[in-house]
Amino acid sequence: MENLLNTLKSKYEKLLLGGGLNKIERHKEKGKMTAWERIVYLLDEDRPYTEIGAFAGDGMYEEHGGCPNGGVVVVMGYVKNRLCIIVSNDATVKAGAWFPITGKKNLRAQEIAMENHLPIIYLVDSAGVYLPLQDEIFPDKEHFGRIFRNNAKISSMGIPQISAIMGSCVAGGAYLPIMSDYALIVEGTGSVFLAGSYLVKSSIGETIDNETLGGATTHCEISGVTDNKYSDDRSCLDAIKGIIDKFGENDKNQFSHIASIQPEFPATHIYKNLPEDRLKPYNMLEILKTIVDNGSLEEYKKDYGKTLICALARVDGWAVGIIANQREMVKAKKPGNATEMQMGGVIYSDSADKAARFIMNCNQQKIPLVFFQDVTGFMVGSRSEHSGIIKDGAKMVNAMANSVVPKFTFIVGNSYGAGNYAMCGKAYDPRLIYAWPTAQMAVMSGASAGKTLLQIQEATLKAKEVALSEEEKKNLLSKIEQQYNQQLSPYYAAARLWVDGVIDPKDTRKIISMGIEAANHNPTVDRYNVGVIQV
């Protein structure tokens, strides 16, 4: 765990450098603050914050020079005691241009703002779409245009949007700040126009400089496109704080919250109890006791369906319903005084049945759900199939997918196959989803996938009357497993925004607490209806 945490720390420190020290120096020479400096200046001191989408783009677009952190920083934090989403373009990464992953990350930020009715602040400093990859960011439903559609939807929902134009703001990207409730601009560095001076010259023959075309004076004094101009970044950010400070309060939900109590064990207890080997058993209850408030854990049907822990608890005072994979081997009683051993991390019929009922209870009682994944999948084999594992699994997926209370997911270890789905993977709309450094996510484990893929390749070659020697089989299996294991990495998942980031396990409690507080800002809870349930 120490090695894994050191890797996490070093990778994260590299993220903070954006496009590199040289790019940062040139950025600052223009009198501009960096993307992170702007965020830190906005945030209330000594208040927690949560980064969304850290490691987006990690290892991607290398043939284009890379796109660290997706070229944009997204944070959920407090500004003037108001929980907000902040989106800050990093102009040290390809001048803040939008790569495909940049668009996906911006949409994720807007999604969180919409789900939780949180004000969203855009700190704009971007050259627009990255043209070499325009076909992957421009025309589709979840591409660049969706940003402006969301601007309109967010406005119609009554959620405040504030934009600060602190650098370039070009072409279609010009609509984002101007579709916000407030559009501020920094003199000398901020500019906004549909077409820059070069394109204007080539299109209509007009010769004009960018400042006259779309600078702060033009848009504050002539066009009225922007509201006010500011001499530098800090004064502009101060104005944002001043605006937020005047917001009134809206209705909130009433998720149960009392005074916080510290967990039974410190977070370091996780490091001692979570084995490095993903196949080794451990007691998930020991992990949960480092996260939930001491004395608050109440197990549901603890002697039935024991490969899934279902429990009511409190986290930082907030009431939660927990569904967690138990990784110990357990004994399950069967009719006629028989018993069977059940493997930890596997979902059996009885555990799926229990979880479905528990999820429905929590929805009836307005209790947010937290999932801790260390799952290898559903049990297979004739005995399991004859007992109806598919219908019981479908019942659990149905109850979870239709859940109307906020859901939060943490991938502790394995996250394989349909187990990822049943335990509220990304496809099932968790409000936040994070991976620990110990996480692995794929259709199946590397060893299982390697053997399966080897058998497929052997069969293909055999059809061509090509036989492999044992040494060739060994080398091919090694190559397959190496490639597959790279895709198992939590950073591979975070790079593609399958998760919102890779975190130190000690931050789990903070993220749950902030996540429920954010969810509490949305007073609307739909009626819970699971539809047709297989029984």
Q: Write out pLDDT tens, residues 112-151.
A: 999 999 999 999 999 888 989 999 998 899 998 999 999 9
Beta-bridged to residue 347, according to DSSP, are 378
Instruction: Cite the DSSP H helix spans in 144-220.
Output: 144-156, 175-178, 197-204, 210-214, 216-217
Overall size of the chain counted in residues: 535
Distance CA 29, CA 415 (A): 46
**Percent of the chain residues topping a pLDDT of 70:** 99
CB 263 within 8 A of CB 294: yes
Instruction: Give the tokens for residue 384.
Output: 């399991």
pLDDT of residue 484: 79
Kindly report the backbone phi and psi dihedral angles of residue 187, in degrees, each rounded to the nearest multiple of 5, phi listed first.
-65, 140
pLDDT of 153 strictly over 90: yes
pLDDT of 350 strictly over 90: yes
Name the DSSP class of 129. B
Model pLDDT for residues 10-27, shown as the tens digit of each residue? 999 999 999 999 999 999
Mean pLDDT of 150-175: 91
Model pLDDT for residues 460-480, shown as the tens digit of each residue? 888 888 888 888 888 888 888
pLDDT of 282 strictly over 70: yes
Name the DSSP class of 522. -
Average pLDDT, whole number, for the chain? 93
State the amino acid at position 195 in one-letter form: A
**Percent of the chain residues topping a pLDDT of 90:** 73
Output b/e per residue, 364-378; b: 16+ Cβ within 10 A.
eebbbbbbbbbbbbb
Distance CA 107, CA 149 (A): 10
Weakest mean pLDDT among 88-92, 269-273, 427-431, 481-485: 481-485
Mutual angle of helices 446-463 and 470-488, in 10-degree steps: 140
Is 267-439+499-521 the same fold as 18-245? yes
Q: Confidence band (pLDDT; 50, 70, 90) for 437?
A: very high
Mean pLDDT of 502-529: 95
Instruction: Give the tokens for residue 174.
Output: 């010009």
Class of domain 267-439+499-521: alpha beta
pLDDT of residue 352: 95
Q: Confidence band (pLDDT; 50, 70, 90) for 59?
A: very high
Contacting residues for 512 by C-beta, under 8 A, at least 6 apart = 291, 315, 316, 318, 320, 370, 408
Distance CA 20, CA 93 (A): 8
Sign, Cα dihedral of 522, 373, 352, 393: positive
Distance CA 184, CA 234 (A): 12
218: left (phi over 0), alpha (psi -120 to 50) or beta: alpha
CB 299 within 8 A of CB 292: no
pLDDT of 336 strictly over 80: no
Give me the residue spans of the domains in the chain: 18-245, 267-439+499-521, 444-488
Going through 477-523 in order, the beta strands assigned E by DSSP cover none
Q: Is the pTM of this model over 0.75?
A: yes
Separation in Å, CA 356 to CA 198, 349, 412:
60, 11, 21
DSSP 3-state assignment of 240?
Answer: helix
Tell me whether strands 432-435 and 82-89 are parallel, antiparallel or unpaired. unpaired
pLDDT of residue 386: 64
pLDDT of residue 127: 87
pLDDT of 176 strictly over 70: yes
**Burial of 506: CB neighbours in 10 Å, binned 0-12, 13-18, 19+:** middle
Q: Closest Cα partner for 109 from 128, 93, 89?
A: 89
pLDDT of 509 strictly over 80: yes
pLDDT of 481 strictly over 70: yes
Contacting residues for 337 by C-beta, under 8 A, at least 6 apart = none
CB 350 within 8 A of CB 391: no
Instruction: Give the tokens for residue 4.
Output: 């894994």
CB 321 within 8 A of CB 310: yes
DSSP 3-state assignment of 147?
Answer: helix
Separation in Å, CA 15 to CA 7, 58, 70, 307, 508:
12, 9, 10, 38, 21
CATH superfamily of 18-245: 2-enoyl-CoA Hydratase; Chain A, domain 1 (3.90.226.10)
Secondary-structure breakdown of the chain: helix, strand, coil percentages, each rounded to the nearest 5: 45, 20, 40
DSSP 3-state assignment of 339?
Answer: strand
Model pLDDT for residues 352-379, shown as the tens digit of each residue? 999 999 999 999 999 999 999 999 989 8
Give one DSSP letter per residue of 277-309, joined into a string.
STTS---HHHHHTTTSPTT--EESSTTSSTTEE
Distance CA 284, CA 328 (A): 8
Distance CA 15, CA 163 (A): 24
CB 87 within 8 A of CB 74: yes
Helix, strand counts (H, E) of the chain: 20, 18
pLDDT of residue 285: 97
